[in-house]
Amino acid sequence: MEFARPLPAYLVTRYHGWKATTYAENCAWYRRLADEGQHPRAMVISCCDSRVHVTSIFGADQGEFFIHRNIANLVPTYEPDGLHHGTSAAVEYAVSALKVAHVIVLGHSNCGGVQGCLDMCEGRAPELEETSSFVGRWMDILRPGYEAVKGEADMSRALEKEAVAVSLRNLMTFPFVRSAVDSGKLSLHGLWTDIGEGGLQHLDGKTGQFVPI
């Protein structure tokens, strides 16, 4: 496997720094996590965007969150068709195996995936329309959201928030999610964060609007 190369030197240096400080000061906790397994209280579905640091936003420690990241923090509808479904598998594991009490969908400002969907839907990204585009076919999940916000003054921001709503609605198409929600064992939450301002908003289920936390 000649294409596998050593880590860049700066990452090696950072690892050794972490091992000598953070790990050394908390090694008993890490060993307990390893021996007793994970018992997270919440699953967070967020974007792959490197600027969205889920654990920092909530000051979370190791073992608190089961985190799944994908382009534009999207959840597809329930489709047990035998194909590969990474996000659906993560949701199933979190809800059915780990028994998390909360599933949080976290959207964010200036989302490149959402902008790609907007460009695709408005005819500015023909490359995403190609059947060979993984990003384009993934962003098809958000096409209904585009129709819902068409005409908004700030389409990008409106679609970023609609992506969260779409994912929450799609979560409820999973039978095991709906069952857990109906029984009161699971709650769903929609959040949107402004990267530049550090703001956080949540989706009000009654009004359908995002309001500051």
Q: Please state the residue numbers annotated as binding site.
A: 47, 49, 108, 111
> Annotated binding site for Zn(2+): which residue ranges?
47, 49, 108, 111
Q: Which helix (H) or strand (E) holds 15?
A: helix 9-18
For the CA atoms of 62, 64, 70, 71, what is the dihedral angle to 10 degrees? -100
SS3 (DSSP) at 172? coil
Cα(107)–Cα(63) distance, integer angstroms: 22
Contacts 24+ apart (CB under 8 A), 50-53: 51/108, 51/110, 51/195, 52/106, 52/108, 52/193, 52/195
Q: In residues, how long is the chain?
A: 213
